[in-house]
Every structure is written in structure tokens, then in C-alpha cells.
Structure 1
Amino acid sequence: MDGRDLDKLVEKALSVHRNSYAPYSNVHVAAAVEAEDGTIYTGVNVENASYGLTICAERAAIAAMVAAGRRRVVKIAIVADTPEPLPPCGACRQVLAEFGSRDTLVVSVSTVTKESRVWRLGELLPYAFTVEHIRENRGSDAAP
């Protein structure tokens, strides 16, 4: 994979980073996902006083991708104003598993130190729960 591809994805995430709404944690996060057709979608974290209603940047970007009719994440860039690159939370990892694969590339960059880290989704979520688990238990005609 060409490093310039990752740089472009990181730049897209950085372009919306300032739009993050994080008055409670003060941790601003943005994400950019690249769909299978090369289109890039962005999202930011949107916190809520009722913490359980907070939306992560990764899931916001994936929701934008799905709203546009795309269904496959090839790679994702995450930027956060944390001292170390921030990996996706467990919920985001599971959503990435729904729309990506074990080989989906995940890159994270700290806006504080400029340090970056790259993983494959399979490293972050080695035993992802997938549609195959449902189909095994309900038959091959199970949704989606």
C-alpha cells in the first residue's frame, strides 16, 4: 500500500477534526473511511451529556458511507488530540467488522505528537462476530 494513500485519508480526517463536539471528555476525534470504490467519507465524535448516546467518529464516518449507498470499508484513518494514536473502541471495531474485513487497514495519528500507528482490523478484533455466525445458527437465508 502506498503511504500517500494513507496520508490522503489522514488529511481528510484532519480537515474535519475541528468540527468534533467533545465538551465532556475534551478528546476530539475525527475519522475518514475509504469505501471500496475509493470514495472517502468523514465523521467526528459527537458527545452527549447522556454518555451512552455519544457517537464515535469512526461510526459517524461509516454511517455517512452507508447513507451514500456504499457497504465496504477498505481502510480508515483516525486522528485524535491524544498523546498516543487512539485505536478504535470495541463498538467501532465491531462496526468496522460489519463493513470491512480482517484485512481492513486502520491507521491512527496523534495530533499532539504526530505519532502514527497502523493495524489490520484482524489484529484489533481477532474474533469478530459476523453475519456468518448468525447464518450458521439460523440457516443460509438469514438477513441481511
Structure 2
Amino acid sequence: MDDKMTATLTQKALAARNNAYAPYSRFHVGAALITEDGQVFSGCNVENAAYPEGVCAEAGAISAMVAAGGSRKIASIMVAGKGPAPCLPCGGCRQKIREFATARTCVLVVDEDGALLFKDELHALLPSSFGPENLETGTEGKPA
């Protein structure tokens, strides 16, 4: 991924983070992804009173991608959290990313100022993972 695309994903993830709804944790997170065909989608975390039954930022971006139609292959995903420690995707989001990942899907994490804290392939975060191909449905990820 080139510097221009990294800058675009950073800007989109930070903008989504600014729109997060996190009255309980007060931990705002934004995410932005780019598909193999160049479409960019973003999402933010959304909490509710039945905490912790909210939606993660990564899940929101993935939902936007699916709802828009088109490519469902994530080339890269950027997460924007807060503080000096990388806000890496939770286990559930790692699996959600994996559902739409390629062999080279890159996960990047920036802080609230846009400084890059982490960059690696999804495989480093979710080694030996289970994915759609393990189900042998023959429907390319669609329910059987």
C-alpha cells in the first residue's frame, strides 16, 4: 500500500473515530478499509446501555462494505484508537476481517494523532485461522 492510500485510510479512520458513540467506555475507535478494487469504507464503535453489546469500528466498516455491494475482499484495514498502545482488533473482529481477507490483507493501527503504531498482515494476528474455504459450501461465502 502506498503512502497516499495510507494517508487516505488514516484520515477516514480518524474521521470515523470522531463520530464514535462510546458513552460507557469513553474509548472512541474508528476504522477504514480498502477493497481490492479501491473502494474505501469506514465505521466507528457504537455502544449501548446493554454494555458490552455494542458494535466495533471494524465490524461497522465491514458492514458498510457488504451493504454497498461490489468487491468483498479487504486489501487493508486501518484502526484508529487512543493512546500509545496499538488498538488492535479484538478476536471477534479479527475473525470478521478474516472472512473477507486475502492472503495479504494488511492491518494497520494509528493513534488519535494519526501516528502509525502497528502494521502487519492479518495472518500475524490470526495464524492458522478458520475461513470460508474450510466449509466447502461451494457458494463463495454465501450461506448454504
Q: Normalising to structure 2: TM-score of the pair?
A: 0.88
Structure 1 segment 1-144 matched on structure 2, within 5 A: 1-70=1-70, 71-111=72-112, 114-135=115-136, 140=138, 144=142
| Counterparts of 1:96 and 1:112, CA distance in 2 | 24
What is the aligned length?
A: 141
Amino acid of the residue matched to residue 19 of structure 2? N
* Ranges in structure 2 where 5+ consecutive residues have no aligned partner: none
- Structure with more helix by fraction: 1
Shift of residue 50 of structure 1? 1.4
Shift of residue 16 of structure 1? 2.1
* Ranges in structure 1 where 5+ consecutive residues have no aligned partner: none
Q: CA RMSD in A?
A: 2.0
Amino acid of the residue matched to residue 69 of structure 2? G
Identity in percent: 41
Q: Normalising to structure 1: TM-score of the pair?
A: 0.88
Contact 1:134 1:142 in 2 (8 A): no
Q: 1:64 to 1:10 in 2, by over 3 A?
A: same
Contact 1:27 1:82 in 2 (8 A): no
Q: Deviations over 1:11-44 (max 9, x none)?
A: 1111222110111111100000101211101100
